[in-house]
Amino acid sequence: MSKKKRKRSTRPGTRRFTLSMQRKLMVMFGLIVAAFLFLSVRIFLINRDNGTEYTMQVLSQQSYTNRTIPYRRGKIMDCKGTVLADSTLVYNVIIDAKQILSEDRYLEPSLDAAETLGLNKAQLRKFIQENESSQYYIAKKNVAYQEKKDYEAWLAEGIEQENSLGLKDENAVFRNVVGIWFEPGYIRTYPSGAAFADLIGFANTANVGSFGIEEYYNDILNGTEGRTYGYLDDNLNLEQTTIDAQNGSNLTLTVDSNIQNIVMKHLNKFGEKYKNKDHKGNGANNIGCIIQNVHTGEILAMGSYPGFDLSDPYDKEALIGMPVLSDKDEATDKYLTKKDVEALSDNDQIRYFNSLWRNYCISSHYEPGSTAKTFTVAAGLESGRVKEDDTFLCEGSLTVGGSRIRCHNVYGDGTLTVGEAVERSCNVALMKMAEQLGNDEFTKYQNVFNFGLRTGIDLADEARTSEYLYSAASMGEADLATNSFGQNFEVTMIQMITAFSSVVNGGIYYEPHVVSRITSSGGAVISTTEPRVLKKTVSEETSKKLREYLIQVVEGDNGTGKTARPAGYRIGGKTGTAETLPRGNGEYVVSFMGFAPAEDPQIAIYVVVDRPNVEKGERQADAKFATGIVRSILTEVLPYMNIYMTQPLSDAEKKELQALGLKDTTSYSRDK
């Protein structure tokens, strides 16, 4: 059988897949692969270099995806846990205009709901219509938690009723309330009011502290903000993650609220008593008081008059009665009236507020007067330049360096021992002691007692007074003489009482402090402040002698501080009177610095009255203005501290205590 040649068949509409076509296909495929590779590389580079930027642009178009979470500023508490400064949770009402306008049915119900929160419906409507794309508008600030809670309960109740009625969305009201939400935050509150104004200072809404503890411990009181972040997952769904806020640390003070309140009560009482006497104005330019534990440096109380309310530090009423300030911010002999205060420019208001807010006890400086004699005598005895049995003749004045310098007793005190010179506060005797000391020793001991330097107290704005002291080289004879009794150099109250505590406690100079413990927001102890010894000022023997001399200032027949003694107690101390500049103006700073009890000093107290506003014709140069305040304060503070009376009470003293509601504690004394 013969083979037949097979015939190729062709179908209509088909073409051969030629080599040329295959090549074209390969080229096209290569181009597509190259394009994909290019796009992949491009996407990688964009994501690497600009990914965060583009992500944030996307997220910025989403609602509530990137918000800060506020932290709570730490509490400030007294030594017994009483809260003096706190942060209260409040809310800002936020309006999302874009969401409200996203559906026609949302606008009116949302406006009605906003009106229940105290917002003006017409004004809010205008804002929404003029800012259609706005998603964050603070419509109301500092809404209390209870108001927020009541609103949310009202809204939830309305939605529940609509659901129970089966209303459709287009017919509902409460379900169509959108675009209103609450942003949490904190405001600083001060339950203590004005009592701790000097110590605490205040913080603004940005959590920045000004003055006192709020400023000094600002970083510790502040926490760290948290944040809610939005991001897109692989499926382009919006996801969120939250980093919680870290609250600030809490501070526990050495100060006792009960002692502080006693101090402020009597400072304000004096201020009210002498207000508008010689002139229309406060009871004194300034009054300051510090109470310190002599064995630790702890501040138990610190306050001044005139004061201000921490809850309203910008209250202009508090400026009325203050001295008019010079261009150098120094007090003049004129005083602000209400009309003057209303006329103050913004810049002048700040000047006067800064003067009011300044802590007189640590930031102001003045000539100490005769309280400084304590340190002149201590330096003389400690250096050996003055002996305990030395005597000094006072004839009423002494000519030094060509200047005649008078004693307060212009008739002279006669021949005095060292102790009698302190008791009588004799200027002439002190000038002669300073002469025996000489410039080098005198200025050396000024440094030993830390005059001119900061004490290191943990409060903002402590003054340094070195520019107001002489060096040994620059000190002339008259300068040495006047320095010996507290004139012609300047100090701060905290310098004086801290040095004084060392003189009466055996010579140990402790760094003063007001914070005893720092704790976390959860209560864990972060740090505690232990008493810190900075130096040794005098020996125990010198300290003992000074205590004896200072007790005689209060108990001696010729003592200048008799009116400082509280009923039932023995105390020691020193009065002070310093004439202000310019000399001869009849204006004085008077003071008393003391310790109690005499038998075993536990506390030191220092009261300074700067230019008391006394009756016309009455002398400012009288330490009784300070000793009276000290007596009133110690009468209440010592029994409160369980320091019992050791001295019998007179009938008049018993009546005085009964009137004050205080007990006779002599029967509890360890000496009984």
- Cβ atoms 386, 373 nearer than 8 A: no
- The pTM is what? 0.86
Which tokens belong to 16?
């051969």
CB neighbour list of residue 145: distance below 8 Å, 6 or more residues apart: 89, 90, 91
Which tokens belong to 654?
């018993």
Q: 612-648 burial, b if ≥16 CB within 10 A, otherwise e?
A: bbbeeeeebbbbbbbbbbbbbbbbbbbbebebbbbbe
pLDDT value at 124 more than 60? yes
Q: Is the dihedral of CA 162, 168, 169, 170 positive or negative?
A: negative
Other CB atoms within 10 A of residue 537 CB: 24
Average pLDDT over residues 649-654: 92
Residue 235: pLDDT band (50, 70, 90) is low
Q: How long a stretch of residues is the chain?
A: 672
Other CB atoms within 10 A of residue 427 CB: 27
Q: What is the 3-state secondary structure (H, E, C) of 252-294?
A: EECCCHHHHHHHHHHHHHHHHHCCCCCCCCCCEEEEEEEEEEC
What's residue 56's pLDDT?
47
What's residue 669's pLDDT?
67
Which tokens belong to 43?
């996407």
Min mean pLDDT across 97-101, 415-419, 629-633 is at 97-101
Backbone conformation region of residue 530, classed left if phi is above 0, alpha if psi is from -120 to 50, else beta = beta
Which tokens belong to 2?
């013969």
Residue 238: pLDDT band (50, 70, 90) is low
What's residue 63's pLDDT?
46
Q: What is the 3-state secondary structure (H, E, C) of 95-108?
A: ECHHHHCCCHHHHH
Strands 76-77 and 397-400: unpaired
Q: How far is CA 44 from CA 27, 30, 33, 35, 41, in A?
A: 25, 21, 16, 14, 5
pLDDT value at 1 more than 80? no
Under DSSP, is residue 601 helix (H, G, I), strand (E, B) or coil?
coil
The tens digit of pLDDT for each residue in 253-278 reads: 999 999 999 999 999 999 999 999 99
Secondary structure of the chain: what % helix, strand, coil (to 5)? 40, 20, 40
Residue 61: pLDDT band (50, 70, 90) is very low
CA-to-CA distance for 449 and 465, rounded, in angstroms?
Answer: 13
Position 63, amino acid = S
The tens digit of pLDDT for each residue in 347-378 reads: 999 999 999 999 999 999 999 999 999 999 99
- Cβ atoms 375, 381 nearer than 8 A: no
What's residue 672's pLDDT?
43
Residue 21: pLDDT band (50, 70, 90) is confident
The tens digit of pLDDT for each residue in 288-321 reads: 999 999 999 999 999 999 999 999 999 999 999 9
State the Cα angle at 530 between 526 and 535, rounded to 5°.
Answer: 140
Residue 4: pLDDT band (50, 70, 90) is very low
Other CB atoms within 10 A of residue 153 CB: 10
Bridge partners of 155, per DSSP, are none
Average pLDDT over residues 96-121: 93
pLDDT value at 206 more than 50? yes
What's residue 249's pLDDT?
98
Return the H-helix or E-strand segment holding 316: none
Residue 24: pLDDT band (50, 70, 90) is confident
Q: Which long-range contacts (CB under 8 A, 24 or more apart) does 617-621 make?
A: 618/278, 620/586, 620/587, 620/588, 620/590, 621/577, 621/579, 621/588, 621/590
> What is the CB-side half-sphere exposure of residue 421 using CA atoms within 13 A?
31
Sheet containing strand 67-69, edge to edge, reads 67-69, 226-232, 238-243
Q: Where are the domains of the chain?
A: 97-178, 642-672
Q: 189-207 burial, b if ≥16 CB within 10 A, otherwise e?
A: ebebebbbbbbbbbbeeeb
pLDDT value at 447 more than 80? yes
Q: What percent of the chain lies above the pLDDT cut of 90?
A: 80
CA-to-CA distance for 132 and 70, rounded, in angstroms?
Answer: 28
Residue 231: pLDDT band (50, 70, 90) is low
Residue 59: pLDDT band (50, 70, 90) is very low
Other CB atoms within 10 A of residue 232 CB: 14
Nearest to 190 by CA among 179, 203, 173: 203
Q: How far is CA 343 from CA 317, 336, 598, in A?
A: 13, 10, 52
Residue 10: pLDDT band (50, 70, 90) is very low
Which tokens belong to 662?
């205080």
The tens digit of pLDDT for each residue in 460-503 reads: 999 999 999 999 999 999 999 999 999 999 999 999 999 999 99
pLDDT value at 637 more than 90? yes
- Cβ atoms 283, 629 nearer than 8 A: no
Backbone conformation region of residue 120, classed left if phi is above 0, alpha if psi is from -120 to 50, else beta = beta
What's residue 51's pLDDT?
57
Bridge partners of 404, per DSSP, are 399
Question: How does DSSP assign 527-556, residue by residue?
Answer: EE----EEEE-S-HHHHHHHHHHHHHHHHS
What's residue 153's pLDDT?
95
